[in-house]
Amino acid sequence: MQTLETIVGNFPITEEEYSELDRRFGNLAHYAAWQLNKKNSKNNSTNEPEDDVQELRIALIRAGSYYKRQTYIEECFDVLDAHVSDKFIKKLVAQLKQLWLDRRRHGANRQKFGEFQEIILDRLVKKHVPKNARPRRDQPLRIDTKFCTYAKQILWNAQKSLGKKITREKSWRTGLVSLSEYDYLAQNN
CB contact at 8 A, 72 and 135: yes
pTM of the shown model? 0.77
Structure confidence at residue 1 (pLDDT)? 43
Angle at 150 between CA 75 and CA 161, to 5 degrees: 135
Exposure of 131 by Cβ count < 10 A (0-12 exposed, 13-18 middle, 19+ buried)?
Answer: exposed
Cα 100 to Cα 120: distance, rounded to the nearest angstrom? 13
Structure confidence at residue 34 (pLDDT)? 86
List CB contacts of 68: < 8 A, sequence separation 6 or more.
11, 13, 137, 139, 141
pLDDT string in tens for the chain (189-residue length): 456 677 778 888 999 999 999 999 999 998 988 888 877 666 556 667 788 889 899 999 999 999 999 999 999 999 999 999 999 999 999 999 998 988 776 654 566 788 888 999 999 999 999 999 999 988 999 999 999 999 999 998 888 888 777 666 555 545 555 555 556 566 665
Question: Among residues 98, 99, 81, which one has the least CA distance to residue 90?
Answer: 81
Structure confidence at residue 108 (pLDDT)? 46
Structure confidence at residue 166 (pLDDT)? 64
Gyration radius of the chain's alpha carbons: 23
Distance of alpha carbon 44 from its chain centroid, rounded?
29
CB contact at 8 A, 159 and 56: yes
- Percent of residues in the chain assigned helix, strand, coil, to nearest 5: 75, 0, 25
